Amino acid sequence: MDAFLQQFQHLQIQLEDITSATDNFNDDNCIGRGGFGKVYKGELSHSKGRSMVAIKDRGHGQGIPEFLKEITSLSHYSHENLISLLGFCYQGDKMILVYDYASR
């Protein structure tokens, strides 16, 4: 796991930054729910600068293999029809993915 995380170190975002951006995962900032869990909107600094982001907080239903596969897959692809993966957080029991925010 450490070797995997090392190769994506440039995408790692601290949990305290994500917690601050979502106002401690406040439901007022929740913009949806999916198979991965709740999705929150917030403003956050990441490897490409600072912008509005969508933050997927792992719920129940997907585990570590799915989380790692999503990081691996989306970090290698860039296309105008794909939402960009901007970063992730894997601290303690938290597995969080951070995407470029796209309204609607």
The annotation status of 56 as a binding-site residue, yes or no, is yes
Q: How far apart are CA 7 and CA 68, in angstroms?
A: 12
Backbone phi, psi, residue 23, to 5°: 55, 55
Q: Please, is 75 exposed, middle or buried when counting C-beta atoms within 10 Å of its C-beta (0-12, 13-18, 19+)?
A: middle
Q: Strand pairing partners for 68?
A: none
List residues forming the annotated binding site: 56
Known binding residues for ATP: 56
